[in-house]
Structures are given as structure tokens and as C-alpha cells.
Amino acid sequence: MIASLLIIVISVALLGYWFRYSCILLLRNSAEQVALASAANDQRFGFTEVQRELADSVELDRLEQLLERDYRLLTYLLEHAAGLSTGSLEDRLLVLDYRVMAAYYRTTKKLAPEQARRALSEMASVLSVLAGRIGEQAGLQAES
């Protein structure tokens, strides 16, 4: 009984570690590609503003609201635009990472503001990568 419990706990911990490490690698590898994408640098999205203001802003809730608005917009586009999807495992992992970081932000914003800033920064990075991929998909379809 104790051995089974220990195996389950260790397996869950390793799964969590794999998930975080995979998401960090995806964000790092996609950062160069996103820098070239025009959709990710679009000033109409709030995540570009969040990335600029995160270092000196004390209003974290306002920044989180901007990210939530962008998240809803991007997921709406993915669900309703013809030909756009998050079919790849990488995109699904990034969407899940956004949700995990949003929950982490809500739990740490009062007690650990620096951790909450890091969560917002990662949320903004995820949205930037997703917007870049949407722009890439839309651009490829427009050229075809």
C-alpha cells in the first residue's frame, strides 16, 4: 500500500516536472520565431503591453485582465476561424500552461507578488507564441 502510494506520488511529481520543462523549452524555441511574426507584435493585443509594463507596474490585476481578454480572443479565433486550430501537441501544451499559470497567478498574487509577475510574464509569452502561430497559419493560407 505504501509502496503504491509512493510510486503514484513520484510519478505525479515527474509528470509535473516534465510538463514544466516541456513548456519552458517550447517557449524558448518559439521565441525566435515569434519575434519575426507580425501578429505577435500587433499592438492591438494586450500581451505586448503586459510584457513592457510588467517590470514596473504595480497593478497586476489590470495586466491579468489584458491577458485574459487576449486569451479569450485567441481561443475564439482558433475555435471559429476556418482552417485555424491548435491541433498540435505543442499548442495544446501551451494552452494548458497558460491555464496553469493563470491559476498560479491567482494563488500567489497576494502573498508572493514576484512569483505572480513571473506567472504573468509566462502567460504573456504563451499568448505571444500562440498569436505568432495563428498569424503564421493565416499567412500560409492567404498565400496558397
Instruction: Report the pLDDT value the prediction gives residue 16, as an integer from 0 to 100.
Output: 95
pLDDT in tens, the chain (144 residues): 899 999 999 999 999 999 999 999 999 888 766 655 544 556 677 888 888 888 777 788 899 999 999 999 888 887 776 666 656 788 889 999 999 999 999 999 999 989 999 999 999 999 988 888 777 776 645 444
Give yes or no for a contact between 123 and 116, defined as CB atoms under 8 angstroms apart: no
Ramachandran assignment for 34, one of left (phi > 0), alpha (psi -120 to 50 degrees), beta (any other): alpha
Instruction: Report the pLDDT value the prediction gives residue 47, as an integer from 0 to 100.
Output: 83
**Can you spell out the DSSP letters for 78-134?**
HHHSTT----SHHHHHHHHHHHHHHHHHHHHTTT-HHHHHHHHHHHHHHHHHHHHHH
Q: Which helix (H) or strand (E) holds 21?
A: helix 2-36
Instruction: Report the pLDDT value the prediction gives residue 139, as an integer from 0 to 100.
Output: 64
Instruction: Report the pLDDT value the prediction gives residue 13, as an integer from 0 to 100.
Output: 97
- Sorted by where each starts, the structural domains of the chain and their CATH numbers stand as 2-143 (1.20.120)
pTM of this structure? 0.83
